[in-house]
Structure 1
Amino acid sequence: MATSDTINQQKANRPHLKRFYYPLDQAVEKPFNWKQMLRLLRYLLPYSKTLLPGAVIAMLISTAVRLVVPIIIGKVVIDVAIDNRDVTLLTYLIIGVSLLYVISYVGNMFRIKWVNILGQRVIYDLRETLFSHVQRLSHNFFDKRSAGSILVRILNDVNSLQELFTNGIINLLMDVVMLSGIIVILFVLSPPLALAVLVILPIMFFISTKLRRRIRRSWQDVRIQKSRLNSHLNESMQGIRITQSFAQEKENTEFFNGVNTDNFEKERTAMKKSAYFGPFVEMSNAIGTVILIAYGSHLILNQTIEIGTFVSFAFYLGMFWEPISRLGQIYNQLLVAMASSERIFEFLDEEPNVKEKKHAQSFTDMQGNITFDQVQFSYDDDRIALHEISLKIKKGQTVALVGHTGSGKSTIANLISRFYDPTEGAVYVDGYDLRDMRLDSLRTNISVVLQDTFIFSGTIMENIRFGRPDATDDDVKEAARVVGADAFIQRLSSGYETEVEERGNILSAGERQLLSFARALLADPRIIILDEATASIDTETEMQIQKALKRLLSGRTAIMIAHRLSTIREADNIIVLENGKILEQGNHDELMKREGEYYHLVKSQFDMLDAL
């Protein structure tokens, strides 16, 4: 097994492996945040009139029974019935105690049932809230985080709260009521004996508080390490073909063993520190029992208390350390919940960089006129992606963006879809500043087709219908026919009902691209963005796509990004970009006559083809 030293040596020798350690996942030393805990408990409010009061009432009934029974046994059964040899009273007491235990059983049964339902519903609500919020965050958020670290928070961190909501909160109330009741009863029965037995409590409280900070930090470290482990797993599965292509399975496994070992060590450390509390409670119980026997016997011999009182004390003392022990476990749950909730609320508090104004307008009948007015944009402070870009795209026009990698082509497309906002200047559609418009009304009028298209698990029919869920089956098939996808779909075993599996693994790259064209067409957008959309398609399929594009782009504004310049010859306007600036623009014939940058790009591509 790889050790922590192994993984540290690997990271030193292989700097690229640091990609698994994200700076946003760092342990931070903070005090127990009661404000945050109260925020977490607000998720109980929707059930504050149904499940929660029912569970609390059931808990109070069962707890009340447990508090009453030792008094009956000690003060009535022993000191009255047995002392007076009253068989009739003893019989009634036995029946009465039996009925009380039945009531306690029923109360516990409903408590367990209701708190489990309550816990599951709260976890459902919390996960749904977190997922919905993450869905609305800007691309900038996902640029800084791995998919694995996001999955950890939605799955593992939310699951870590399940025990708290299922048992922890109600058990906490039950144990507090139980302890309070026991302490009051003990002092009512015999103040001297109560003081003697409970003298250990201040010492116990002092020592336990010393453990809190260490335990909490340990569980926080566990959450961070799980995030790193899941990040590595996610990247390893996503990049399995690359790993195998470079024969790096052994090295990748060694690195995983190091990450897994770190996870194991963090978990073991946290469990070990948490386990200190149990034996400490047992030791306290033992000391309290010794004090009870010694001092209680002395009080009985001096006739200060009766035997029944001593027996009741013995019952209550046994009951006393049980909730104390559970409170230690609940405290551990609170520490785990605090570590997880910190990470959950970090996401929930994340604000989209692309914000929608409170009274944003909606597009009612988008035409597709696009204007860039002195737009400057940078993904970070170090590099400007676009320099004061000004351009106009009229409705129905097909505009091609060409240039070397990093010239700003995809950035322009991202700004049109408002995945990012300009650093300076503004982007307008139909004369409206996109920052004044509702995001959904903009994006429902735009379809984007990427080079690496994403196919969801499900059927062919469901994937094409993704952008327009209310489309009929006939609409779906017509869209597939228009883009030329119908032919290969009909050859599949179940046609349009064929399951394509995760990421469309049963389909070729070209077939997946054809499906994305059909999806875009079915959505009936006013603006279509094709980002290297034909790069994965062979020449024969490309010719078929070119015919389909004429119908697909008819009457729509189209932005085409392409390295293969043969696909954009028919564009109304070709914009040549270099380092975020517009070098030249015009149609194909105009640019070829100028013999500028576009001319040299075309010539170099044809020279390469001739060389082949």
Structure 2
Amino acid sequence: MARNKFDVDENLESPFDIKHFRRAMVYIKRQKKPMLIAFALSALSAAIGLSAPLIMQHVVDVTIPAKAYEPLVGWSALMLLTIVVSVVLATIRSRIMTKVGQDIISEIRIDLFKHLQQLPFKYYDDRPQGKILIRIVNYVNAVSDVLSNGIINFILEIVNLIFIAAFMFAVDVRLSFVTLAGLPVFLGVMLLIKTRQRRAWQAVSNKSSNLNAYTQESISGIGVTQMFSREQRNEGIFTRLAANYRFEWMKAMRFNALIPFSVDNLSTIVTALIYLVGLLALGPADITFGVILAMSSYAARFWQPILNLSNLYNSFINAVAYLERIFETLDEPVTIRDNPGAKALPPIQGQVTFDNVTFGYDSGLNILENLSFDVKPGESIALVGPTGAGKTTVVNLISRFYDVSGGSIRIDGHDISQVTLKSLRSQMGIMLQDSFIFSGTILDNIRYGKLDATEEEIIAAAKTVRADDFIREFEQGYLTEVNERGSKLSQGQRQLISFARTLLADPRILILDEATSSIDAKTERLLQEGLNELLKGRTSFIIAHRLSTVKNCDRIMYVSNKGIAEAGSHDELLARKGFYHRLYTAQKMEA
């Protein structure tokens, strides 16, 4: 559980290898046609651009010595044309690759989001939301250019090197070898820093993830922060995380800066050697000034692709750290899914059977052990007991948000592990403790679980749970815009809207987890009237700490000690003077 903390670096589940990059090629291959066009345009632009030094050499060695000034205008126009055509082709190519890059970003991000939608609750229990969010947004952005322009540019720069080398050797073999003399030094520098550079960017990735996680957590808990005057302490924590990120970033950038520094200096030294060898060692009798001028131009051009390749290498090293995180997320197993051969659950009556069910969130630590009970269709069951005993766990297992460790759960005789999740959950109405409100209108929030619901059905559901009155008090009524998590609404209003959303689906099995915990006593009495009608003919599981809300349930189960300590009606359990009696008596005394 250590990775569930914002100040703990994530460890990769497996080391990076080339297969991760091959997996990324799946997205690249989908853009094969535009990328081939872009590559052709780039190659043509490069070839045209490389003709400029040859034109310059001809002018210096032939046209000017012959004092043929009239052709100079034509040669100048031709050189200008090569520049214009090269720029136009490069612009078209850039526009194509911008679209390709955005298409790749979109596909990776959609695949990530789809996968996250299917991951079980346990995945989110173990990780801060900020560390998940950064993978969908920041990390995908970071790899997009490498997976689009990076591939094209890598191939193009190699082609450029081949073209430039061919032109160089065609002009002068001896000075060409002078140009190539700096390559061994450059390769030595690359080999020396590559491992440390990758580790440095992995560290940057970790610190960025930590900073993002704490920022998200702080924004979500801003009310608690201000309530306890924690602003100054939180600023100190954020400052420390930001300083860690800055330190790792600067360390990684030092490695990045070393490569262009090496290339620039090697290019300068090689160019100086060309003039030195050409003018002093060979001399005017053996080599013309036009050749030296052309070779110095080609030498500068030769090292430019190497610098570009080194920058691409830097980008690739950076992207590797992010690709590792992206594919780690995509490789996260979807443990709660339709099993092979799963069939659709037919329309149910609502019989629920627990048969020797054992379950624990962590291996070796069971919350429930050998739990067995049977609920008849239409029966209302209240789950009460101490905090942490497993009440919410029971209803989570019925909905198959988690899989049991042992035993089985059946609905109308069907093992829920052998039916499709959609057919199971579509026949359930589930209201968890967290009354989550999405950004949008109140109408959209109630309709969230039944998109084809009419406005009349939505209003009817709101009236049943006594939400209609307060909704109509808003100026825009049901069309009132609410923020994410419903910050404009009271906690009680949020719960009533969530309750209406649950009831709208007209479920056969109704699960209410602390559904009335934030509703005042007057509203609760009104809500109970609607609930009494709603619960008729439906199997229901109700979790509530306020026992006044569950007195009328058909059966009350006291959950404790990894199972059901006692069960019966309200009157039966009071007569036993056991766990429920003590809990009920204690609440009456507190009241």
When normalised by structure 2's length, the TM-score is 0.96
Q: How far, CA to CA, are the matches of 1:296 and 1:38 in structure 2?
A: 46
Task: Please list, as runs of the form range in 1=range in 2, the aligned pairs for 1:178-193 lying within 5 A after superposition.
Answer: 178-193=160-175
Aligned match of 2:43: 60
How far is 1:210 from its partner? 0.9
| Aligned partner (choices 18, 36, 54) of residue 20 of structure 2 | 36
- Is 1:71 the equivalent of 2:54? yes
Q: How far, CA to CA, are the matches of 1:528 and 1:477 in structure 2?
A: 20
Corresponding letter in the other structure for 1:21? D
Task: Please list, as runs of the form range in 1=range in 2, the aligned pairs for 1:171-210 lying within 5 A after superposition.
Answer: 171-210=153-192
Aligned CA distance change for structure 1 residues 546 and 286 (closer, same or farther; 3 Å) = same
Q: How far, CA to CA, are the matches of 1:582 and 1:27 in structure 2?
A: 41
Corresponding letter in the other structure for 1:496? Y
Contact conserved, 2:108 with 2:140, CA < 8 A, in 1? Answer: yes
CA-to-partner distance for each residue in 1:241-298, whole Å, 9 max, x for gaps? 2222222221121111111111111111111221111211111011101111011224
How far is 1:88 from its partner? 5.4
Aligned match of 2:6: 20
SS in 2 for 1:375: strand
Corresponding letter in the other structure for 1:439? L
Q: How far, CA to CA, are the matches of 1:552 and 1:71 in structure 2?
A: 88
Q: How far, CA to CA, are the matches of 2:83 and 2:354 in structure 1?
A: 77
Task: Please list, as runs of the form range in 1=range in 2, the aligned pairs for 1:131-142 lying within 5 A after superposition.
Answer: 131-142=113-124
Q: How far, CA to CA, are the matches of 1:27 and 1:400 in structure 2?
A: 44
Contact conserved, 2:465 with 2:496, CA < 8 A, in 1? Answer: yes
Aligned match of 1:265: 247
CA-to-partner distance for each residue in 1:317-361, whole Å, 9 max, x for gaps? 111222222222211110111000101111000002223223321
SS in 2 for 1:276: helix
Q: How far, CA to CA, are the matches of 1:17 and 1:410 in structure 2?
A: 24
Q: How far, CA to CA, are the matches of 2:109 and 2:352 in structure 1?
A: 38
Using the aligned pairs only, state the percent identity. Answer: 39
- Is 1:120 the equivalent of 2:102? yes
Q: How far, CA to CA, are the matches of 2:186 and 2:51 in structure 1?
A: 27
- Is 1:247 the equivalent of 2:232? no
- Is 1:438 the equivalent of 2:423? no
| Aligned partner (choices 580, 583, 589) of residue 565 of structure 2 | 583
Q: How far, CA to CA, are the matches of 2:336 and 2:280 in structure 1?
A: 76
Q: How far, CA to CA, are the matches of 1:553 and 1:296 in structure 2?
A: 97
How far is 1:591 from its partner? 2.0
How far is 1:561 from its partner? 0.8
Contact conserved, 2:437 with 2:484, CA < 8 A, in 1? Answer: yes
SS in 2 for 1:364: coil
How far is 1:137 from its partner? 0.3
- Is 1:384 the equivalent of 2:370? no
Q: Which moved more, 1:578-587 or 1:337-346?
A: 578-587
Contact conserved, 1:447 with 1:527, CA < 8 A, in 2? Answer: yes
CA-to-partner distance for each residue in 1:469-516, whole Å, 9 max, x for gaps? 121222211211121111000001210111111211111111111101
| Aligned partner (choices 560, 564, 574) of residue 542 of structure 2 | 560
SS in 2 for 1:467: coil
Q: How far, CA to CA, are the matches of 1:591 and 1:259 in structure 2?
A: 54
How far is 1:312 from its partner? 1.9
CA-to-partner distance for each residue in 1:125-151, whole Å, 9 max, x for gaps? 111111111111011111110111111
Q: Which moved more, 1:299-308 or 1:484-493?
A: 299-308
Aligned CA distance change for structure 1 residues 200 and 332 (closer, same or farther; 3 Å) = same
Contact conserved, 1:451 with 1:534, CA < 8 A, in 2? Answer: no
- Is 1:81 the equivalent of 2:63? yes
SS in 1 for 2:342: coil
Aligned match of 2:196: 214
Aligned match of 2:461: 479
Q: How far, CA to CA, are the matches of 2:419 and 2:293 in structure 1?
A: 75
Corresponding letter in the other structure for 1:594? R
Contact conserved, 2:63 with 2:72, CA < 8 A, in 1? Answer: yes
Q: How far, CA to CA, are the matches of 2:114 and 2:11 in structure 1?
A: 25
CA-to-partner distance for each residue in 1:357-394, whole Å, 9 max, x for gaps? 23321123233221111100011134210010111122
Task: Please list, as runs of the form range in 1=range in 2, the aligned pairs for 1:47-446 lying within 5 A after superposition.
Answer: 47-49=31-33, 51-74=34-57, 76-87=58-69, 89-165=71-147, 167-298=149-280, 301=283, 303-446=285-428
Q: How far, CA to CA, are the matches of 1:283 and 1:238 in structure 2?
A: 50
Corresponding letter in the other structure for 1:26? N
Contact conserved, 1:136 with 1:352, CA < 8 A, in 2? Answer: yes
Contact conserved, 2:439 with 2:483, CA < 8 A, in 1? Answer: yes
Q: How far, CA to CA, are the matches of 1:215 and 1:468 in structure 2?
A: 51
Q: How far, CA to CA, are the matches of 2:228 and 2:180 in structure 1?
A: 67
Q: How far, CA to CA, are the matches of 2:284 and 2:3 in structure 1?
A: 75
Q: How far, CA to CA, are the matches of 1:359 and 1:192 in structure 2?
A: 72
Q: Which moved more, 1:501-510 or 1:470-479?
A: 470-479
Contact conserved, 2:5 with 2:128, CA < 8 A, in 1? Answer: no
Aligned match of 1:5: none
Aligned match of 1:3: none
Q: How far, CA to CA, are the matches of 1:140 and 1:287 in structure 2?
A: 59
Q: How far, CA to CA, are the matches of 2:56 and 2:561 in structure 1?
A: 88
How far is 1:89 from its partner? 4.5
Corresponding letter in the other structure for 2:170? V
Contact conserved, 2:4 with 2:127, CA < 8 A, in 1? Answer: no
SS in 1 for 2:511: strand
SS in 2 for 1:558: strand
CA-to-partner distance for each residue in 1:398-430, whole Å, 9 max, x for gaps? 111111112111111110111110100111122
When normalised by structure 1's length, the TM-score is 0.92
SS in 1 for 2:183: helix
Aligned CA distance change for structure 1 residues 360 and 592 (closer, same or farther; 3 Å) = same
Contact conserved, 1:376 with 1:387, CA < 8 A, in 2? Answer: yes
Aligned CA distance change for structure 1 residues 18 and 249 (closer, same or farther; 3 Å) = farther
Q: How far, CA to CA, are the matches of 1:423 and 1:549 in structure 2?
A: 34
CA-to-partner distance for each residue in 1:444-491, whole Å, 9 max, x for gaps? 222211233111111101110111112122221121112111100000
CA-to-partner distance for each residue in 1:493-543, whole Å, 9 max, x for gaps? 210111111211111111111101110011222211100111111100100
CA-to-partner distance for each residue in 1:136-177, whole Å, 9 max, x for gaps? 101111111011111111111112113324532222222111
Contact conserved, 1:118 with 1:165, CA < 8 A, in 2? Answer: no
How far is 1:36 from its partner? 1.4
Q: How far, CA to CA, are the matches of 1:504 and 1:271 in structure 2?
A: 42
Q: How far, CA to CA, are the matches of 1:348 and 1:552 in structure 2?
A: 41
Contact conserved, 1:565 with 1:602, CA < 8 A, in 2? Answer: yes
Corresponding letter in the other structure for 2:75? L
| Aligned partner (choices 503, 525, 548) of residue 521 of structure 1 | 503
Aligned CA distance change for structure 1 residues 417 and 18 (closer, same or farther; 3 Å) = closer
Aligned match of 1:546: 528
Aligned CA distance change for structure 1 residues 395 and 27 (closer, same or farther; 3 Å) = closer
